[in-house]
Structure 1
Amino acid sequence: MGKLSGYQIVVMIIMFELGSTPLFELGIKAKQDSWLAMTLAASIGLLLLWVYLRIQGRFPGMGLADLLRVHFGKFLGTFTGLLFGLYFTYEASRNARDFSELTVMTILQQTPQWVIIFTTALISLYGVYKGPTVFFRVVEMLFPIVILSYGVIVILLFIARLPNYHRLLPMLENGVGPVVSAAIPDIVSFPFGQMVVFLMFWHRLSPGKKLGRIASMGYIIVAVLLIVLNAISMAVLGPEISSISSLPLLEVVQLIRIANILERLDVFVTLLLYIGLYVKMTLFCMAAVIMMKNLFKGSHAAWSAAIILIICGLAFLEPNNTVRLWLGLTVMVKLFTIFQIALPIVVLAVGAMRGLGKKGTEPETAHTADEI
């Protein structure tokens, strides 16, 4: 089983959480306080991260499939693992649809969506087939490009004098109610609750590394970055325009004009969003494949092909982008708290009651043979 370095884990957390998040102005229900809603959600997400780390810490050599069977027993654990596999698959399908919608709205307006989704799925399939070790290395190579690019964008926005902090005022105009309502459960679920997928990969961390410190570092870095991007976007567009914008970050970047030379950077930002969507889709898909393979055996290649085909089918569930956004950002984020909050807390409680993870309680099957 290929091991992952601490740096690779940090990088993947940052790239995964960035993912498709900049596509949306999250917390818009709180208007100019959306960045406060992001901050509150990130704080709650940090508590969820602690839950995930506590679960992983009981049996550091186990992936989520084995953790569920150890805590719930073979039958119930396998059933719960199947549900998690379906959850990961659906999340991947949403990212595939995000990829196609972004492409149609920006650079390939006349291209059928099924062509874009199928092409994206093939690229993702190759990453899944090569396995976590190779995929994490690829993301490690992309990381400096993405971070430097976002940094340049922020600098250019300030050089162009686009952000106006007055658009973030007055703070808490309607009290804390709208902030709490916007943050819980919507932003907690997307993107911070999606960290649950890392229970599929943390057991691959190289021996001797402190997972808690590594995961917390990656989470805090990306949480701060997302809050800053949210605040800057709101400071440029204001709550009125942000609330009706389909791609707020692209509209923000389109406003950059410096000396009548530097402009039209939206294509550049689109490429960054493509990278984020690809990383997120592939990691979810890989998690689903590994989960199914661990639960039901079979070859990695066969499960990879099967999951990718299901993802392509699920990507067309919603008839249009409006329905997709409504379903994803208002309905599914609440449903997904079952996997992100409820089940992990139940696992934590069951383990505490049974004394799992203590010396002498680790089962013989704790270290699953994972050859991917």
Structure 2
Amino acid sequence: MEKAKIDGLQLFSLIFLFEMGSAIVLPLSVQARQDAWISVLGGMLGGLVLFLIYQRLYLYYPNKLMTTYIQDILGTVLGRIIGFVYVVYFLYLAARVLRDFGELLVTFSYPETPVLIINAIMMATLVYALNKGIEVMARTSELSFVVLYILAIIGFVLVFVSGLVKIDHLRPMLENGIKPILKAVATETLYVPFGEMIVFTMILPYLNRPEKAKAVGLSAVTISGINLMIITAINIGVLGVDLFSRAVFPLLATIQQIEVADFLERLDIFFLIALVIGGFFKIGLFFYAATIGAAEIFRISDYKKLVYIVAIIILFASISIADNYFEHIKEGLNLVPIYLHLPFQIVLPLILLIIAFFKNRKKNKRKDKGQVRKRKDKMRDFLRPVCL
């Protein structure tokens, strides 16, 4: 771990920007059709439960990263193996989000520029940020949070002023029952973006007041979830179910519809700024977690020695994980949730929490017995002269 501390507001900003990340630009829960916004709400509720699991593990080991306290829970050998697998998991997620970011920019603004070049520019920026440390990223997140929220409010107002939203597109609610919604939650929105909060098991130890972790985390997840729900509902209201389900980037399609007084239009720059801010923090936190975790596992005192190596791995992994963007999306929807997100976001943390609970209960019992014994010894020492 580096010697750094962040406060509650900075943690809130980091969580909010991370959760929004690529989720604001990618289609969420299209299988639920006009009820997609409800599945986002369901994913948020599940995300709150997952954060409580991660936060409880943090309370058991407040000064340790997840890759470190796994070794305390499972033993050194097994713990280091699983810790290393988590590092690879964070690397893979960083590469996936980086690919999303690059493909979107190429499609949207730079069709003649190779994805590798776009991704390399983002990684160069992140290398600079990581060399400055988590405190600098946290302070930057406060300003970025304000910018993103101002853009969101302006965009929200312009969409409604333009008269684009048609409530009928959101009807009928629950047309096919609750089953499609539950399926969308169980296969998509629970994991992305809410389950990805697992990365904050590598950030929480830097919080200067551990008692604030629960309130800050739950409020950030709730507010980001409500924002994503509103964005999804607006996308459906503007585009309609069919166009929403076919659009590669629904928010971009929505923003391109804005036209006020025949002169205020083509506000794609709003989308671009939101993409860059969200992508920077989401990729950056996965990048940081992988780097700091690798440094802990391999006993490297300064994580900055690994920054360039990890950056190169993420960069080339982002290009090689899929031959094209549609294969990349298909892999993310069909394979990653079951084979990666489910075990790493839910199953393993639950197992770790159960073992940590029993280990700490035994430890507390031994402490209680020791305290009782000490009190008895003190009482015996006090009464001995009297008895004599």
The correspondence for 2:279, drawn from 264, 277, 280, is 277
Q: In the alignment, which residue of structure 2 is the partner of 1:159?
A: 161
User: Counterparts of 1:283 and 1:80 in 2: how far apart (Å)?
Assistant: 20
Superimposed CA distance per residue, residues 47-98 of structure 1 (whole angstroms, 9 cap, x where no aligned partner): 1111111111112112112221111111111111101100100111112111
1:112-131 correspondence runs (5 A)? 112-131=114-133
- Offset at 1:185? 2.6
User: Counterparts of 2:138 and 2:253 in 1: how far apart (Å)?
Assistant: 31
Q: In the alignment, which residue of structure 2 is the partner of 1:249?
A: 251
AA partner of residue 109 (structure 1): P
1:191-210 correspondence runs (5 A)? 191-207=193-209, 209-210=211-212
2:8 touches 2:209 (CA, 8 Å); kept in 1? no
Q: In the alignment, which residue of structure 1 is the partner of 2:348?
A: 343
Q: In the alignment, which residue of structure 1 is the partner of 2:77?
A: 75
2:329 is the alignment partner of 1:325: yes
1:351 touches 1:357 (CA, 8 Å); kept in 2? no
1:253 touches 1:265 (CA, 8 Å); kept in 2? yes
- Offset at 1:19? 0.3
User: Counterparts of 1:228 and 1:10 in 2: how far apart (Å)?
Assistant: 20
TM-score (norm 1): 0.94
1:186 touches 1:330 (CA, 8 Å); kept in 2? no
Root-mean-square deviation (Å): 1.5
Do the aligned partners of residues 185 and 353 (structure 1) sit closer, same or farther apart at CA in structure 2, a change above 3 Å counting?
farther
1:185 touches 1:337 (CA, 8 Å); kept in 2? no
Superimposed CA distance per residue, residues 231-251 of structure 1 (whole angstroms, 9 cap, x where no aligned partner): 111111111001111110000
Do the aligned partners of residues 168 and 358 (structure 1) sit closer, same or farther apart at CA in structure 2, a change above 3 Å counting?
farther
1:129 touches 1:300 (CA, 8 Å); kept in 2? no
1:6 touches 1:209 (CA, 8 Å); kept in 2? no
Superimposed CA distance per residue, residues 175-205 of structure 1 (whole angstroms, 9 cap, x where no aligned partner): 1111111111311111000001000010111
User: Counterparts of 1:100 and 1:315 in 2: how far apart (Å)?
Assistant: 9
- Offset at 1:297? 2.2
Q: In the alignment, which residue of structure 1 is the partner of 2:58?
A: 56
The correspondence for 1:2, drawn from 1, 4, 17, is 4
Q: In the alignment, which residue of structure 1 is the partner of 2:111?
A: 109
Q: In the alignment, which residue of structure 2 is the partner of 1:91?
A: 93
Q: In the alignment, which residue of structure 2 is the partner of 1:239?
A: 241
Q: In the alignment, which residue of structure 1 is the partner of 2:145?
A: 143
User: Counterparts of 1:357 and 1:97 in 2: how far apart (Å)?
Assistant: 46
SS in 2 for 1:210: helix
User: Counterparts of 1:183 and 1:101 in 2: how far apart (Å)?
Assistant: 26
TM-score (norm 2): 0.90
2:34 is the alignment partner of 1:29: no
1:200-239 correspondence runs (5 A)? 200-207=202-209, 209-239=211-241
Do the aligned partners of residues 208 and 240 (structure 1) sit closer, same or farther apart at CA in structure 2, a change above 3 Å counting?
closer
User: Counterparts of 1:344 and 1:20 in 2: how far apart (Å)?
Assistant: 24
- Offset at 1:119? 1.4
- Offset at 1:320? 0.5
AA partner of residue 351 (structure 1): A
User: Counterparts of 1:34 and 1:357 in 2: how far apart (Å)?
Assistant: 45
2:284 is the alignment partner of 1:303: no
2:62 touches 2:210 (CA, 8 Å); kept in 1? no
SS in 1 for 2:265: coil
AA partner of residue 310 (structure 1): I
User: Counterparts of 1:118 and 1:245 in 2: how far apart (Å)?
Assistant: 27
Runs of 4+ in 1 over 3 A off after TM superposition: 356-362
Unaligned runs of 5+ in 1: 363-372
SS in 1 for 2:275: helix
1:58 touches 1:356 (CA, 8 Å); kept in 2? no
User: Counterparts of 1:232 and 1:56 in 2: how far apart (Å)?
Assistant: 36
Name the structure with the higher helix share: 2
SS in 2 for 1:191: helix
Do the aligned partners of residues 274 and 360 (structure 1) sit closer, same or farther apart at CA in structure 2, a change above 3 Å counting?
farther
- Offset at 1:118? 1.3
